Amino acid sequence: MAVKVYGPAISTATVRVLLCLEEMGAQYELVPIDYSTGEHKSPPHLARNPFGQVPAFEDGDLMLFESRAISRYVLRKYKSSGPDLLREGSLEESAMVDLWLEVEAQQYDKAISAIYIEIAIKPVYFGGVPDEKVVAESVEKLGKVLDVYEARLSKSKYLAGDFLSFADLSHIPYTHHIVASPHASLFESRPHVKAWWESLASRPAYKKVTAGTPTSK
Amino acid sequence: MGSVTVYGPPISPAVSRVLACLLEKDVVFNLVNIDMSKAQHKSPDFLKIQPFGQVPAFQDEHTTLFESRAICRYICDKYADRGNRSLLGRRGGGLVERAHVEQWLEAEGQSFNPPSSTLVFQLAFARQMGLPQDPAAILLNEGKLAKVLDVYERRLQESRFLAGDEFSLADLSHLPNGHYIRAGGKEEFFTSRKHVARWWEDISMRPSWRKVVEMQRTPPA
Residues in chain B: 221
The answer, yes or no, to whether residue A214 has pLDDT greater than 70, is: no
CA distance A136 to A140: 6
For residue A108, the distance in angstroms to the closest alpha carbon of chain B comes to 11
Structural domains in chain B plus CATH codes? 4-85 (3.40.30.10), 94-208 (1.20.1050.10)
Is B3 in contact with B61 (CB distance < 8 Å)?
yes
Q: What count of other Cβ atoms lies within 10 Å of the Cβ of residue A184? A: 14
Indicate yes or no: CB of A98 within 8 angstroms of CB of B151: no
Could you tell me the end-to-end alpha-carbon distance of chain B, in angstroms, rounded to an integer?
21
**Residue A122: closest CA among A108, A138, A106:** A138
The answer, yes or no, to whether residue A104 has pLDDT greater than 70, is: yes
- For residue A43, the model assigns a pLDDT of 97
Nearest chain B residue to A160 by CA distance is B65
Per-residue pLDDT tens digits for B125-154:
998 889 999 999 999 999 999 999 999 999
Nearest chain B residue to A95 by CA distance is B74
- For residue A1, the model assigns a pLDDT of 75
Indicate yes or no: CB of A98 within 8 angstroms of CB of B73: yes
Most A CBs within 10 A among B4, B63, B66, B67, hence the mutation to make, goes to: B67
Percent of chain B at pLDDT above 70?
98
pLDDT band at A24 (very low <50, low <70, confident <90, very high): very high
Q: Is A180 on the interface with B (CB under 8 A)?
A: no
Q: Which residues of A touch B66 (CB under 8 A)?
A: 99
Going by the DSSP 8-state scheme, the letter that residue B109 receives in this structure is I
Q: Which residues of A touch B105 (CB under 8 A)?
A: 69
Averaged pLDDT for residues B8-18: 97
- For residue A49, the model assigns a pLDDT of 98
Q: Is A84 on the interface with B (CB under 8 A)?
A: no
Q: What count of other Cβ atoms lies within 10 Å of the Cβ of residue A84? A: 18
Rg of chain B's alpha carbons, rounded to an integer?
17
Nearest chain B residue to A167 by CA distance is B70
- For residue B127, the model assigns a pLDDT of 85
Indicate yes or no: CB of A106 within 8 angstroms of CB of B106: no
Residues B53-86 as b/e (b if ≥16 CB within 10 A, e otherwise) read: bbbbbbbbeebbbbbbbbbbbbbbebbeeebbeb
Strand B57-60 vs strand B63-66: parallel, antiparallel, or unpaired? antiparallel
Q: Which residues of B touch A50 (CB under 8 A)?
A: 151, 154-155
Q: Is B69 on the interface with A (CB under 8 A)?
A: yes
**Residue A173: closest CA among A84, A65, A58, A54:** A54
Q: Is A76 on the interface with B (CB under 8 A)?
A: yes
CA distance B36 to B39: 5
Is A160 in contact with A149 (CB distance < 8 Å)?
no
Indicate yes or no: CB of B96 within 8 angstroms of CB of A62: yes
Is A200 in contact with A171 (CB distance < 8 Å)?
yes
Q: Which residues of A touch B55 (CB under 8 A)?
A: none
> What backbone phi and psi angles, to 5 degrees, belong to B31?
-115, 120
Residue B150 parent element (H or E): helix B135-158
- A217 by Cβ neighbours in 10 Å (0-12 / 13-18 / 19+) ranks as exposed
CA distance A79 to A23: 10
What average pLDDT does the structure give for chain B? 96
Q: What is the pTM of this model?
A: 0.97
* Nearest CB to A76 within list B63, B78, B95: B95
Distances (CA, A) of A71 to A68, A149, A167, A200, B22: 5, 23, 11, 17, 27
Q: Is B112 on the interface with A (CB under 8 A)?
A: no
Q: Is B75 on the interface with A (CB under 8 A)?
A: no
Percent of chain B at pLDDT above 90?
91
Contact pairs from chain A to chain B, CB under 8 Å: 77
Q: Is the dihedral of CA B12, B13, B17, B19 positive or negative?
A: positive
At B175, is the secondary structure helix, strand, or coil?
A: helix
Q: Give the rounded distance of the alpha carbon of B134 from its chain centre.
A: 24
Q: Is B34 on the interface with A (CB under 8 A)?
A: no
Per-residue pLDDT tens digits for A110-139:
999 999 999 999 998 889 999 999 999 999
Most B CBs within 10 A among A59, A106, A145, hence the mutation to make, goes to: A106
Q: Is B107 on the interface with A (CB under 8 A)?
A: yes
